[in-house]
């Protein structure tokens, strides 16, 4: 087929020589690379050093014991030392509670782990300081993890708790060693015999740590990351869906050509106000979000087989979250035009993912990202999905806040889009030029 002759010809060489082709592309791509690298790597650069007020439960169930005619309560002493530690003062926010409350906090994702001092702790230590035993029973402290609240945060809490156990063991060991020395002195004067070599090894490092899951997850939960990836699907579904819908409406109105492989179709241009264009796109977004949420759930639960319950609620929340993301992206498209997809990517992805608290806990992020987490939408979606998948869809486990913030985001974006498009229309800033059609050869 001969090439059209009624359009001015442009050679590849002349196009590559144009500054208007190189400069905008270089500026946009360069700034995106710079900003995204700073955002993502800045959030994950030093999580341990940035940690502040990481919530960990501390349970002291020790009942105390009698040793050499004296009452000892090592559990209370250790708990006081832990909560008053200058090293952990700013990094950890200890929640001193009983075991039942600790289990509830773990089940709501309010703490990343727990450290439990058992009922017989003082008695176990006192037994080591007493007469030699055939099989000495070392005291044990339990470290509870909570991967449902975030595998990275749970790992940080477990590491902190294990360090606390090691420090406690060293302190208790020094006390027992002193007692061992006194017993050795008394053995020379006819007193009780000093413990043997095996008992001495136990006394040097007496306290053991037992690691258990405080809030167990299923084997198909991605170690607590399935909520993050599912939320990512919902956010991308809203952002990409908005761009697809916007393009399809423009194509149907003749604003854009429809290229299918080598074939190009152009419909006659039809005028539509910016306000009506935004309304049409928003209606499509809301309705199609129900479909995309259902298909996302079918793929994740039905095909992949992730652990999930409350499927009806998961579908409804997914549809609302996708619609809210989509309306936000459509409002940015209506406000900024061609740069709209880049702006929406920065708002919904660039700024949102590092501040979501999905991989790195919020308490281990720099202050800038904690500020973003208060209103960035991704964090709200992650909290809602995490509550549905891991915490029995409890509103106090993040789902209540997720519903509230999703509704606010939807309403604000919708109002913003309606107001801006109405303002543009009133000023005559239409997207289509109302000019009579000119015949073309």
pLDDT tens-digit series, residues 181-194:
665 555 555 555 45
Q: Region 341-356: what's the mean pLDDT? A: 91
Residues 388-395, mean pLDDT to the nearest whole number: 95
β-pair partners for 115: 58, 143
Q: What is the pLDDT of residue 197?
A: 47
Taking the CA atoms of residue 9, residue 13, residue 17 and residue 23 in that order, the dihedral angle to the nearest 10 degrees is: 90
pLDDT at 437: 42
Burial class (CB in 10 A: 0-12, 13-18, 19+), 2: exposed
Structure tokens at 191: 């007193």
Determine which helix (DSSP H) or strand (DSSP E) holds 123, and give its type and residue range.
helix 121-129
- Terminal CA-CA length for the chain: 16
Residue 259 DSSP SS3: strand
Cβ atoms within 10 Å of 290's Cβ, excluding its own: 16
pLDDT band of 127, cuts 50, 70, 90: confident
Average pLDDT, the chain: 87
Give tens-digit pLDDT for 62-114.
Answer: 998 877 677 888 899 999 999 998 888 889 999 999 999 999 999 999 999 99
Helix ranges (DSSP H) in 337-376: 340-345, 367-373
Indicate the DSSP class of residue 120. Answer: T
* 173 pLDDT tier (thresholds 50, 70, 90): confident
CB atoms within 10 A of CB 280: 16
Mean predicted confidence (pLDDT) in 137-142 = 86
CB atoms within 10 A of CB 272: 19
* CB 238 within 8 Å of CB 323: yes
Signed CA dihedral, 37, 38, 42, 43: sign only: negative
Query: Who's near 266: CB < 8 A, 6+ residues apart?
Result: 254, 257, 258
Which residue, 164, 195, 201, is CA-closest to 85? Answer: 164
Has residue 148 got a pLDDT over 60? yes
Alpha carbons 15 and 17: distance in angstroms, whole number? 5
Candidate from 77-81, 167-171, 173-177, 375-379 with smallest mean pLDDT: 173-177
Q: Higher-confidence residue: 206 or 212?
A: 212
Q: Where are the beta strands (DSSP E) in 146-236?
A: 208-213
Is residue 268 packed enough to be buried (19+ CB in 10 Å), middle (13-18) or exposed (0-12)? Answer: exposed
CB distance 380 to 356 below 8 Å? no
Q: List the single range of 179-188, 413-422, 425-434 with lowest mean pLDDT.
A: 179-188
263/60 Cα distance (integer angstroms): 73
In terms of pLDDT, which residue wins out, 52 or 4?
A: 52
295 has pLDDT over 60: yes
Report residue 129's pLDDT band, with 50, 70 and 90 as the boundaries. low
Look at residue 179 in the predicted model and tell me its pLDDT: 65
Strands (E), 37-189: 54-60, 65-67, 70-72, 92-97, 113-117, 140-145
Determine the average pLDDT of the residues in 46-56: 90
DSSP lists the bridge partners of residue 57 as 95, 114
Give the model's pLDDT for residue 131: 61
Strands 113-117 and 140-145 come out as antiparallel
The string of pLDDT tens digits covering residues 366-385 is 999 999 999 889 999 999 99
CB 326 within 8 A of CB 285: yes
Residue with tokens 């992805």: 349
The pLDDT, as a whole number, for residue 24 is: 87
Q: What pLDDT shows up at residue 44? A: 84
Per-residue confidence at 1, pLDDT binned at 50, 70, 90? very low
Least confident of 100-104, 132-136, 201-205: 132-136
Q: Which two tokens stand for residue 210?
A: 């037992």
pTM of the model: 0.87
């Amino acid at each position: 087929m001969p090439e059209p002759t009624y359009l001015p010809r442009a050679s590849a060489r002349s196009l590559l020589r144009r500054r208007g082709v190189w400069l905008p592309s270089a500026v946009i791509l360069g700034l995106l690379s710079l900003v995204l690298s700073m955002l993502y790597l800045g959030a994950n650069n030093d999580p341990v050093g940035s940690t502040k007020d990481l919530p960990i439960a501390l349970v002291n169930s020790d009942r105390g014991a009698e040793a050499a005619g004296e009452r000892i309560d090592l559990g209370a002493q250790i708990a006081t030392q832990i909560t008053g530690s200058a090293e952990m003062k700013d990094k950890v926010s200890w929640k001193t509670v009983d075991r039942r409350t600790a289990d509830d906090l773990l089940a709501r994702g309010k703490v990343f782990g727990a450290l439990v001092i058992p009922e017989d702790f003082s008695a176990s230590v006192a037994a080591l300081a007493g007469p030699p035993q055939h099989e000495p029973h070392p005291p044990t402290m339990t470290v509870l993890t909570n991967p449902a609240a975030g595998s990275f945060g749970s790992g940080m809490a477990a590491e902190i708790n294990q360090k606390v156990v090691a420090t406690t063991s060293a302190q208790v060991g020094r006390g027992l060693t002193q007692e061992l020395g006194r017993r050795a002195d008394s053995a020379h004067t006819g007193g009780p015999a000093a413990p043997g070599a095996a008992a001495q090894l136990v006394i040097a490092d007496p306290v053991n740590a037992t690691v258990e899951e405080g809030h167990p997850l299923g084997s198909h939960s991605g170690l607590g990351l399935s909520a993050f990836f599912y939320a990512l699907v919902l956010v991308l579904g809203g952002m990409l869906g908005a761009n697809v819908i916007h393009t399809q409406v423009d194509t149907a109105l003749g604003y854009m050509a429809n290229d299918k492989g080598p074939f190009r179709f152009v419909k006659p241009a039809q005028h539509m106000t910016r306000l009506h264009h935004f309304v049409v796109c928003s209606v499509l977004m809301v309705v199609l979000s129900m479909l995309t949420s259902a298909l996302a759930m079918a793929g994740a639960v039905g095909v992949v087989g992730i652990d999930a319950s409350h499927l009806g609620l998961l579908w409804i929340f997914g549809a609302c979250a996708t619609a809210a993301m989509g309306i936000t992206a459509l409002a940015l498209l209506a406000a900024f035009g061609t740069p709209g997809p880049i702006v929406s990517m920065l708002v919904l992805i660039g700024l949102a993912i590092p501040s979501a608290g999905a991989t790195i806990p919020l308490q281990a992020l720099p202050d800038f990202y904690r500020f973003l987490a208060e209103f960035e939408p991704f964090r709200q979606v992650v909290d809602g999905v995490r509550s549905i998948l891991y915490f029995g869809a409890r509103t106090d486990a993040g789902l209540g806040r997720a519903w509230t913030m999703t509704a606010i985001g939807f309403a604000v974006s919708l109002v913003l889009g309606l107001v801006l498009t109405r303002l543009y229309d009133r000023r005559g800033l239409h997207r289509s030029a109302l000019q009579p059609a000119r015949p073309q050869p």
